[in-house]
Amino acid sequence: MNLQNVTTLLNALRTNVRTVIVGKDEAIDVVLIGLLSDGHVLLEDVPGVGKTTLAKAIARSLNCTFKRIQGAPDLLPSDVTGVSYFNQKQQEFEFRPGPIFANVLLVDEINRATPRAQAALLEAMQERQTTVDGDTMALPKPFLVIATQNPIELEGTFPLPEAQIDRFFARVRLGYPSESEERNLLMRFERVDPLTTLQPVAEASDLIEAQKLVREIRVEASVVDYLLKLCRKTRESLGAQLGVSPRGTLALYRAVQARAAMQGRDFVLPDDVKQLAPYILTHRIVLDGNARLRNRTAGDILSQALENTPAPVDA
């Protein structure tokens, strides 16, 4: 597989997903970048904007296994990872794999699950393995977690801890569609749900190959410096209790490589860093009390960092 194949693959995926999701091209691209960078995506928005549909559309387009977990207060870790039960016929314990053993895992309303259940995802998301009854089992490749959460209704929810949220490669907010997009949506869903007729356009093995190739995209030294300065500035910013973690820096590095590949380039531009920083970095920034009182957001901190970081240009 070469760069052209990767670009073609991503274009095919994007076109396929667009038949279901109307508008939201940028969000689709970020999810695909997450997919290509072997990262997990958190979709955060109000109900009914297409978060679950987007996750399903991507899973179907890839022709890989798809499982879903519905976040609820009574969700147990064994409901996520699987359980060992005693088979009376065989007179031995058997392991029944949980939904986590899938290529694409949709964790719907993740913040409604208890911290115990959320913690069951920690090992799986970072180390691509899960441990049940002392046995460690590798998860299938590729492994992508797409989680959704509703930022409005907070009663009865368990906000994701920093360790958990940092494991998400990107956070995407879909937002409401525009009037024309919504009109288009009505027409498209008038008779049949396009998700039911969606055909796969790529195999999981293609994606694994593409993920390997993306790591070879060139990031020039000055762009690396730019990226590093930007991430470090978020740590030094007034109003930020916690800045971007080194894992966040690495995620941004992988993301810009994937964006370059998506656009058919074998090198990264500073524009890639600027475009992707809001999706990759903002959910990793934790505001202090003063900033919250002044209604500042993580986006403001990042914007400030971007305004104070010179772009690597000869001039």
Partner 1 sequence: MSLSATPRADAGIQSRPRPSRIAVLLAFALAEACILASPATLLSSSRLSLHPLVVVSVLWLVLFSMAWARASMAQADVPNGLARLAALVAYILLATTCIGLLGLSLDGVLIGLVASLIIWWRGLSLGSSELSPQQARGLFWLGLFLAGGLTMFNTHPARLVLLFIFAVAALVAVQLSVRYAVAQYNYMSASALATPRWRRATFLIVLAVLGLMVFDSALFNSEVANTVVWFLIVAIALPLAFLLTTLLSLIVQILPLEFLRQLLARLIALLTSVQQLTDGVPQQQPETELQPPSTMDPRWILFGLAALVLIAIVLFVVRQVQLRRQTQPALNDTDMPEEDQADEAGDNALDEQRKRSPFSRWFAGATVRLIYARMVAEAGRRGMPRARTQTPREFMPDLMNAFPNAEPEVNHITEAYEAAHYGQLPDTLEKLDTIRQAWERARKTPRPDKPRPAPG
Site of interaction with partner 1 (CB under 8 A): 218, 220, 222-223, 265-271, 274, 306-315
CB distance 130 to 88 below 8 Å: no
Minimum CB distance to partner 1 smaller for 63 or for 304: 304
Shortest distance, CB of residue 8 to partner 1, whole angstroms? 21
Q: Which amino acid is at 313?
A: V
What kind and span of H or E run contains 242?
strand 240-242
Closer residue to partner 1, CB minimum distance, 109 or 272: 272
CB of 22 to partner 1, least distance (A): 28
CB 210, min distance to partner 1, A: 20
**Shortest distance, position 267 Cβ to partner 1, whole Å:** 4
Burial degree of 74 (CB within 10 A; 0-12, 13-18, 19+): exposed
Sign of the Cα pseudo-torsion (292, 298, 301, 303, in order) = negative
Residues 6+ apart with CB under 8 A from 12: 201, 202
Q: Specify the residue, 22 or 223, whose C-beta has the smaller distance to partner 1.
A: 223
Nearer to partner 1, 164 or 309 (CB): 309
Identify which of residues 106 and 269 has a Cβ nearer to partner 1 in the complex.
269
- The CB-of-299 to partner 1 minimum distance in angstroms stands at 16
Residue 172 is given by DSSP the state E
The sign of the CA dihedral 146, 152, 156, 161 is: positive
Beta bridge partners of 101: none
Instruction: Please report how close the Cβ of residue 268 comes to partner 1 at its closest, in angstroms.
Output: 6
Is 157 or 303 the residue whose CB approaches partner 1 more closely?
Answer: 303
CA 68 to chain centre: 15
